Amino acid sequence: MAASELRVAAVQMSSQADLGANLGECRRLLGQAAAAGASLVVLPENFAYFGPEGGKRELAERIGDETAPIQSLLSEAARTHGVVVIGGGMPERSPDPERPYNTSVVIGPNGKVLASYRKVHLFDVDLAEGSQYRESASTTAGSAPVVVPVGGFGVGLSVCYDVRFPELYRALVDRGAEVLTVPAAFTVHTGKDHWHVLIRARAIESQAWVIAAAQCGTHPQGKTTYGHSMVVDPWGTPVAEASDHAGVVVADVNRSYLEKVRKALPSLKHRRL
């Protein structure tokens, strides 16, 4: 029988270019989430490193290598607290050494990798206030949607800029997703106008719970991120939200409300195209 409820946590961080300090903060916040009763904890994009792109190349790991620094920390925390940890976006080695994948990795309570997803949509934009981002210059794109079972729920994986592409979430729902994860490092410029709208839209159209774990504050090279990590229900209502500082937000994801929404407004069954 499918589980009826799952307590989840979205971790909000202000990661910097210091791997050791970031991992220490991850350890602290993962412990805080577990102490609050969370069984699934989602870390934001760039949780382990948020600095010059060259650093990502040097830190890139092979997924499944429990001795590597980033995955070692995630595995240790998952085992210690008996939780599932989603490392929202970390550098994974790719065939191009100059352009690692941006990968969301799922670690089970036994410390082993359950699944991983490589970010499909890369952030290449010129913003009105003058900022320029070229994620594709330093990152290799993935290509496949991923859904992983966690606590009796189908959990769909995505990373940050993916949230602007509803077709990805349609594919996740088609594969059984009932909970969607959106670890992110949204800029302040885009976040203040689009973050809440996009997260709620993905919940409404997918009739799914959404866990959005975000970066906040100021990072190296003058980058600033919006924060406001959230858990949103299948009707599109935020049930927990952070402000603009590091911390943890916790909520209970329940199957009964998801089924109620999907039954009352069966839009997923009415799709024609």
101-145 tens-digit pLDDT: 999 999 999 999 999 999 999 988 887 766 777 899 899 999 999
Is residue 181 domain-resident? yes
Whether 2 is covered by a domain: the verdict is no
Contacts of 242 by beta carbon, 8 Å cutoff, 6+ apart: 10, 12, 214, 216, 227, 228, 229, 230, 248, 249
47-92 tens-digit pLDDT: 999 999 888 999 999 999 989 999 999 999 999 999 999 999 999 9
Asked whether residue 102 is assigned to any structural domain, the reply reads: yes
d(CA 209, CA 95): 34
* pLDDT band, residue 2 (cuts 50/70/90): low
Does 1 have pLDDT greater than 60? Answer: no
119 in active site:
yes
Catalytic status, residue 192: no
Q: Which of 119, 178, 216, 241 is catalytic?
A: 119
Phi, psi of 97 (to 5 degrees): -60, -25
CA angle (175 as vertex; 173, 177 as ends), nearest 5: 45
d(CA 8, CA 221): 32
CATH number at residue 12: 3.60.110.10
Task: Please report the pLDDT score of residue 3 as a whole number.
Answer: 76
For residue 98, is it within any domain? Answer: yes
Measuring CA to CA, which residue among 123, 116, 174 is closest to residue 146?
116
Cα Dmax for the chain? 53
Asked if the structure places residue 1 within a domain, the reply is no
C-alpha distance across the termini of the chain, in Å: 32
Q: Is residue 92 part of a domain?
A: yes
Which position among 56, 135, 160, 178 bears the catalytic label? 160
Segments forming the whole domain that contains residue 246: 7-269
Split into its structural domains, the chain has a count of 1
Question: How many helices, marked H, and strands, marked E, lie in the chain?
Answer: 6, 16
- How far is it, in rounded angstroms, from Cα 81 to Cα 154? 22
